Copies of this chain bind each other. A is one copy, B any other.
Amino acid sequence: MPERFHLYDTTLRDGAQQEGIQLSVEDKLRIARILDALGVTFIEGGWPGANPADTEFFARAQTELRLTNARLVAFGATRKAGGTAATDPQVAGLVAAGTEYICLVAKSHDKHVTDALRSTLDENLAMVNDTVTYLTRLGKKVLVDCEHFFDGFRANRSYALDVVRTAAEAGAEVVVLCDTNGGMLPNWMGDVVSAAAGIGVDLGVHCHNDSGCAVANSLAAVDAGVMHVQGTVNGYGERTGNMDLTTLIADLQLKYGWPLLADRQLAELTHTSHAIADIANQPHLTRQPYVGHSAFAHKAGLHASAIKVNEDLYQHTQPELVGNDMRMLISNMSGRASVQIKAAQLGLEITDRELAGQVTDMIKQREADGYSYEAADASFELLVRSMTSQLTEPFELISWRVLTEENTDEGVPRDSSEATVKLVAKGERQLVIGEGNGPVNALGQGIVKALTPAYPQVAGYELVDYRVRILDEVRGTDATVRVLIDTSDGVHGWTTVGVGTNVIEASWEALADAYTYGLVKGYGLVEAESR
């Protein structure tokens, strides 16, 4: 293992470029805290100035983000061609972000300089030199991403190396060789990295998965002397994604034997992957190495009988090391020792051993049924409270009914929904109708109307986010649906989960949990009383 080695996470910047991912500032802050707990070296937070949400993220990070392991990095570009770093507004935005570390992307492929940037090869070198020097003199630590480096090296080897040298001489801490188009193969990496290594600066690598070899390309680069790898959790990113940092960390620590993270941090790898997936509203990739739900799931037949003999005969590593579990697919139950720890974190000590076992079994059963508690802490807390006799239900459902229709009167199809909700709250029976453009909106409206007389504070609870997943274990019209709902009262935010054989059923459960939780915790009460 090299003397110093950097795990550089760009989930919040390059990862967020993935088609379909839209992270709010709140999402980014939550993810940053999870990454910090895992123990990565750097967290690239975004591009302040260029992206207004990122400007806000860095501003809020200064007071709201207390990182204990990682260093926050602001990403941006070298100054504009023909200007000066000192007067460049984009560069100023990087400084204003208030981070000690800044990562600059620079052109290193001659054709990109002349055709895309429409500048000269010399001016590009000046842009690198000027911007790195300027920021270093301000006391910043600067990393430089050499964009399209491998293609650039193939097109004009000496120019690509000139860019690396210029960055190094101007004071860059690390110069990162980027396979921006993702087209490299592992056995091509060594020669290129070795040529750059001759310059003498610390080198990094930044791969994309377009050839299906991002992890392997990064390993090959590490073998050739790179001490800094950039990637994203779950391989999020544009096109085929960035290198999956989740996989690489486990490969380096468990196969190369490099103690990059503390053992207890590595054991959080699976939770990290799943919690970030939930926040980003992405599916959990069941076949993902190490952390996927199926990663250590063994089917009956060839292996099942033998695996009882000796687990190591059938697994390339021990799942517990990364916080995952071995599962025998005859029974779908997974072992989970962290339930007591998680409950304690929520202030719900379970000292009775038998009760702890019952709670654990219930959680296992629920997860086999499709529930995911990785991000749905509020539903988890309600379940634990319920099983440890610490829950008084604020309302009791009698029935709900949702009517969805499509009508082609006047020749134009028109859809609408109505939800009838019947429940008892504070001894009073409520029967109301909610409306919406879809069955779930309508149901949400109905719940609020039904609870408001007894609990006026629910008017302040807002459904902030709604994520639906079909869980494909079963084919046919009874496929399981999972819904995650984020609710907020303006001060607190909480996430709940619901599962059912159809989306309406699943949504009811997540909505009911959301309102139950807010009421049980007394959220919004002060505001309601003062109204």
Instruction: Name A residues whose Cβ lies closer than 8 Å to a Cβ of B.
Output: 17-20, 22, 50, 105, 109, 111-112, 115-116, 148, 181-183, 185-187, 209-213, 215-217, 219-220, 223, 235, 237-241, 244, 247-248, 251, 255, 281-283, 286-290, 292, 294-299, 301-302, 306, 309-310, 313-317, 329, 397-409, 415, 436-441, 444, 463, 465-470, 472-473, 475-479, 501-505, 508
Contact = CB atoms under 8 A, between A and B. Distances in A.
Nearest to A246: B212
Contacts of A504: 404, 439
B213 A329 contact: no
A502 B505 contact: no
A272 to B, nearest CB: 16
Given A20-B286, A502-B438, A407 B399 contact: yes
Contacts of A212: 215-216, 244, 247-248, 251, 289
Given A281-B472, A502-B503, 18 more contacts: A115-B306, A115-B313, A116-B306, A186-B187, A212-B216, A212-B244, A238-B299, A239-B294, A281-B475, A397-B406, A397-B408, A399-B407, A402-B403, A406-B508, A437-B478, A466-B476, A466-B477, A467-B479
A124 to B, nearest CB: 14
Nearest to A111: B313
A213 B215 contact: yes
B398 A401 contact: no
Nearest to A148: B313
What number of copies of this chain does the assembly contain?
A: 2
B401 A403 contact: yes
Given A287-B241, A402-B405, A17 B299 contact: yes
28 contacts: A19-B329, A19-B473, A20-B473, A109-B313, A116-B306, A182-B316, A185-B255, A187-B223, A211-B247, A212-B244, A212-B247, A213-B213, A213-B251, A216-B217, A239-B294, A239-B296, A397-B406, A400-B405, A401-B406, A404-B504, A404-B505, A415-B505, A436-B477, A438-B478, A438-B502, A463-B477, A468-B470, A468-B479
